[in-house]
Amino acid sequence: MLNEKELLLNQGTIGNHIFKNRYIVAPMTRVSSSQNGKPNETVHRYYERFAKGGFSAIISEGIYPDTEHSQGYECQPGLATHEQMEAWKPIVETIHENRSLFIAQLMHAGAQSQGNAYTNETVAPSVFTPPSDKVALYGGQGSFPEARPLSIEEIEQIKKGFVQAARRAQEAGFDGIELHGANGYLLDQFLSEGSNQRGDAYGGSIENRLKLIVDLITEVREAVGATMLLGVRISQMKATDPSYKWEGGEAEAATLFSALGETDIDYIHLSERDAKIPAFGNDSMLMSEVAKRYSNKPIIACGSLENPAEAAKLIAIEQCDFIALGRQALVQPDFPNRFDQGEPLMEVSHVKHILSDNTTPAAAISEEELKMDVIKNEEVTQ
């Protein structure tokens, strides 16, 4: 039987891309780009340290795809314009120089938008108000407004925005695209019964609620071709409702992952607080187990998997294929290299996450600050 290092540091494959090990940096909201959505030198340094630290791949923070309703946070980066795309190019080049892959996560905030430079209006599948206040860590204050429902024509425009952003990501040199279908953002709002009360082809059954994601997979794949990685991120929890569970439980999950397994995606990325505990109650399966069994796709597990023994176990029993780290990567951006060389791995339960105020951007936090200053914030991954 393979040991921990052999399981976690051996090569893996998704699509036609070889990953040098099984560790991936999870997407984390940074709110550190320029006001115009162009990633800057601060963002460049943020991603560079993970590539130098030995991670096989990095999934970007959520990138907004259009100049309409998709932006979620002030100082969030975009791929909505040619200028934004050009600003990503040197960052992508740096990642590749350090032998890491770079995947662009495309995200439409929907009703959870709290800092859009293009409009104050929010949209959702149906009339919907997120259940908690805006996220203070990302510059939000007070309650969310009521989002208005999208028309069919607007949904078509949203699809076009994703496709155009995917093409820009490809032109910038990214190795893949991840569709953000998790954590309560727009694609997840379509998946969830509470936020999707539509009576048309996009609402009702889980198959209908999946339609937007499935359509995007088809259209993005057609736009970028077969060689570019294409994945989707899925979760039960929302940024504004961390305890949310799918009403249909394990059965709904089986239907969802079976449907995704029929699409042309290369992988499924799961977002959880703790990937080691049953996802639907004490006697249920792990989320990664359900996803792997019913989709038959490579699975990236994410959620409290900083302990190599626990991460290796999931891979050994074939319940996931890759491990995404968020908080641990912030504290030790050279985590894979440290693990490979037998150096101490820091145990961190919570990580300082500084809000960008144009003086101290979140991505500018030094390793020393991260190691010394730990606070109560539990959820920094998207």
- Of the given ranges (44-48, 241-245, 358-362), which has the lowest mean pLDDT? 358-362
- Residue 180's contacts (CB-CB under 8 Å, 6 or more residues apart) are 27, 62, 105, 106, 107, 108, 187, 188, 233, 382
Q: pTM of the full predicted structure?
A: 0.93
Q: Do residues 179 and 191 touch, judged by C-beta distance below 8 A?
A: no
pLDDT value for 377: 35
Give the pLDDT band of residue 48 (cuts 50, 70, 90).
Answer: very high
Query: For residue 367, is pLDDT > 80?
Result: no
Q: Do residues 216 and 156 touch, judged by C-beta distance below 8 A?
A: no
167 CB burial (10 A radius; 0-12, 13-18, 19+): middle
Query: How does the average pLDDT of the chain come out, rounded?
Result: 92
**Residue type (1 letter), 102:** F
pLDDT value for 348: 65
Q: DSSP secondary structure string, 320-372?
A: -SEEEESHHHHH-TTHHHHHHHT------SS---PPP-SSS-GGG--HHHHHH
Average pLDDT score over residue span 192-207: 97
Average pLDDT score over residue span 284-299: 98
- Select which of 185, 202, 267, 294 is catalytic: 185
Look at 60 and 282; give whichever has higher pLDDT: 60
- Residue 260's contacts (CB-CB under 8 Å, 6 or more residues apart) are 210, 213, 214, 232, 234, 268, 295, 297
Query: For residue 356, is pLDDT > 90?
Result: no
CA distances from 283 to 248, 272, 305, 316, 330 (A): 15, 18, 21, 21, 33
Give the pLDDT band of residue 106 (cuts 50, 70, 90).
Answer: very high
Query: For residue 361, is pLDDT > 50?
Result: no
Active site residue 202: no
Give the pLDDT band of residue 376 (cuts 50, 70, 90).
Answer: very low
CA geometry: angle 304, 309, 311, nearest 5 deg: 45
Look at 337 and 380; give whichever has higher pLDDT: 337
If DSSP codes are grouped into helix, strand and coil, which group holds residue 375?
A: coil
Domains defined along the chain, listed by start = 4-372 (3.20.20.70)
Cα–Cα distance measured from residue 144 to residue 114, given in angstroms and rounded to the nearest whole number: 7
* CA trace torsion 230, 76, 128, 232 (10° rounding): 10
- Residue 232's contacts (CB-CB under 8 Å, 6 or more residues apart) are 178, 179, 181, 213, 217, 260, 265, 268, 269
Q: What is the pLDDT of residues 61-88, one digit of tens each?
A: 999 999 999 999 999 999 999 999 999 9
Cα–Cα distance measured from residue 195 to residue 166, given in angstroms and rounded to the nearest whole number: 26
pLDDT value for 87: 99
Comparing CA positions, the residue from 309, 302, 262 lying closest to residue 286 is: 302
Residues paired with 183 in a beta bridge? 238
Q: What is the pLDDT of residues 140-175, one digit of tens each?
A: 999 999 999 999 999 999 999 999 999 999 999 999
Q: Do residues 257 and 294 touch, judged by C-beta distance below 8 A?
A: yes
Give the pLDDT band of residue 1 (cuts 50, 70, 90).
Answer: confident
Cα–Cα distance measured from residue 363 to residue 39, given in angstroms and rounded to the nearest whole number: 11
Percent of the chain with pLDDT over 90: 88
